[in-house]
Structure 1
């Protein structure tokens, strides 16, 4: 997939619209996508949807990509960070066309009479380029986990130690994989993604790993939050 200079010019000229109205556009996007693909509710953070941080984060990411459409390499550090989260959520290549479809519909709906086929084609071309960058990086990240497909998704973990700290506002958990399952080495600053099922949907949270890798367990600390879809469950 390629993008023409004319399409780049269109992206740059319409990017300010996204900067000023991005949260509204991405809120339309999420609403329509979830209505038609409720299975994707298992991937996205519902608390962040309700308080508006996830639509705003998506809007900012799209805007920065549009602003730097001539040099997407400048965004690679941010793209790689997002790609790691995508792997943690088991996002797959087939999800990207769905996201692209409803993103374009949201842009079209917001622009109304100002929407033209040239604008939509330009944004489609830009989205496909960015999506393919994510897909390629995420394939590399999945490959790092080895040949087992089981290891590339969510795996069961057992709580082997629980400690309440910081005046009962934080719970420290030590987790192990049952039946001597493979444990993956990690580095300082990385996180573990926990998936909990509640009210018919999965809810995912990223927690920083708090202790060096010992080859047999993961340690995380969970802060009790007031606004949390999974409060009292983890």
Structure 2
């Protein structure tokens, strides 16, 4: 049990973490991977290269230090991290390794400022945090295996269909290779896929939103191909799926996870706002509403660079023609003059331009896309008078957004 004095010692390090947290977490990862290179098969090395993982950890450590007196206020981010960990098959033994190297890094980075008393305080605090996290994750693992067709760890799935959705996005239809059942999931959740990358000589996991409604037969992921001369490790996995994975191949997958989900307890309108490949979890939500014959009004708002890279556009057009409770607003950076201007708009998604269609009584808003896109749409919704509790968003990769 952590004492009040130890809590204060941890809390007193918050200003240091606020200023030098990234230095600490960068040192921590270098140290841990030096002593445990096998963990490179567990961690996303693309996020390591970009610095996103170091930033996310620095923010998490800072948040914990600032709220050490009442960690319960961190319930939402702890749950979100727990879902990510379960999808990567993180186990309690990993926490012991992380704790050892995090404490050593605090001592090495802070130098003389890291007294034995401070390290002891952080050791107790970390033990408390690890117990909190492993408790959340144990519950999620138990929930996964309690489902029909549920599992933990990595399970083989066969690619039975590979469908090109646009110039950049291809869908993969994944069926259990063992012939077993497919566990149910909640619209908006994701799965982790693990591939071996010869370029890095590592297994690498990547998380992809499930882009179909639950159907009891398969999962569909829709993956964007990365282009450019210098493809980072994140792009290596996506491009390997596009270029090397064929119909009939086997992929390893973790069970569905994630807390960015459609709230099916509500009956009001649903407004789905996406940028680029960020539409994938929202497509799952949309298909669920259709497959369950929901009477909820749906507004679909999507932004893409142009028509050629816009995936699922035929499906959206068909829905607009067939379903009265559905309307769509598409924004293209480059707009073809032949498109109807009442449905297509030039430039980036601008909610204020279509505010008369967006501001609906009792609506729930779901946003997914690149971080700057999410931030803009969130702030615009707040300016338009939408309650923050009605706005939900999913940031791909490590969570670094902290919107007020």
Q: TM-score range by the shorter chain?
A: over 0.9
Correspondence for 1:139 = 138
For the Cα contact (< 8 Å) 2:193–2:206, is it kept in 1?
yes
Is 2:246 the counterpart of 1:230? no
Question: Where does 1:8-157 land on structure 2 (aligned, <5 Å)?
Answer: 8-146=7-145, 151-157=151-157
CA distance in 2, matches of 1:179, 1:94: 28
Question: Could you list the per-position Cα deviations for residues 39-76 of structure 1 after superposition, in whole angstroms to 9, with x for gaps in the alignment?
Answer: 11111110110110000100101110110111111111
CA distance in 1, matches of 2:19, 2:152: 38
Task: Give the drift of 1:181.
Answer: 1.8
For the Cα contact (< 8 Å) 2:206–2:237, is it kept in 1?
no
Correspondence for 2:216 = 215
Q: Secondary structure at the match of 1:214?
A: coil
The number of aligned residues is 231
Question: Where does 1:139-218 land on structure 2 (aligned, <5 Å)?
Answer: 139-146=138-145, 151-166=151-166, 168-199=167-198, 200-218=201-219
CA distance in 2, matches of 1:204, 1:111: 33
Question: Could you list the per-position Cα deviations for residues 191-223 of structure 1 after superposition, in whole angstroms to 9, with x for gaps in the alignment?
Answer: 011001113211111111111011010011111
RMSD (CA atoms):
1.5
For the Cα contact (< 8 Å) 1:203–1:229, is it kept in 2?
no
Q: Secondary structure at the match of 2:27?
A: helix
Q: Secondary structure at the match of 2:183?
A: coil
Q: Which has the larger radius of gyration?
A: 2
Larger relative contact order (Cα-Cα within 8 Å, sequence gap ≥ 6): 1
- TM-score (normalised: structure 1): 0.94
CA distance in 2, matches of 1:42, 1:182: 28
Task: Give the drift of 1:151.
Answer: 2.3
